[in-house]
């Protein structure tokens, strides 16, 4: 009697299609990545909203960002100060 039998090639093709299908499902259900980069002011506002910095620290840091410092060293110092919740010192 003749039965339906699958050879090794048929199993390989079925496995390949199963992998393709699993890949498509994974691409469709994974969480999309945020492509929009947050501005420094948005990051400060989020830190304030999360209670990481005080209102005064947030206001000072946003004001410092609005000053447009002329040198990159000043920017780095202000960034470090905002990150650590300290006031930047410029001697």
Residue 88 CA from chain centroid, whole number: 27
What is the tens place of the pLDDT at every residue in 6-41? 889 999 999 999 999 999 999 888 877 766 788 888
Give residue 60's domain range. Answer: 40-84
CA–CA separation, 70 and 7 (whole Å): 72
Contact 18, 11 (CB under 8 A): no
- Please report the pLDDT score of residue 86 as a whole number: 52
Per the domain annotation, does 3 fall within a domain?
A: no
Contact 14, 22 (CB under 8 A): no
Cβ atoms within 10 Å, residue 44: 22
Contact 88, 78 (CB under 8 A): yes
Q: How many structural domains are present in the chain?
A: 1
Per the domain annotation, does 63 fall within a domain?
A: yes
Contact 44, 62 (CB under 8 A): yes
Of 62, 64, 72, nearest to 41 by C-alpha is: 62
Per the domain annotation, does 60 fall within a domain?
A: yes
- Please report the pLDDT score of residue 5 as a whole number: 81
């Amino acid at each position: 009697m003749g039965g339906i039998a699958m050879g090794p090639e048929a199993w390989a093709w079925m496995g390949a299609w199963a992998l393709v299908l699993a890949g498509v499902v994974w691409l469709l259900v994974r969480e999309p990545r945020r492509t929009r980069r947050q501005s420094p002011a948005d990051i400060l506002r989020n830190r304030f909203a999360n209670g990481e910095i005080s209102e005064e620290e947030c206001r000072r840091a946003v004001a410092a960002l609005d000053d447009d410092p002329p040198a990159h060293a000043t920017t780095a110092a202000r960034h470090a100060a905002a990150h650590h919740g300290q006031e930047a010192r410029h001697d």
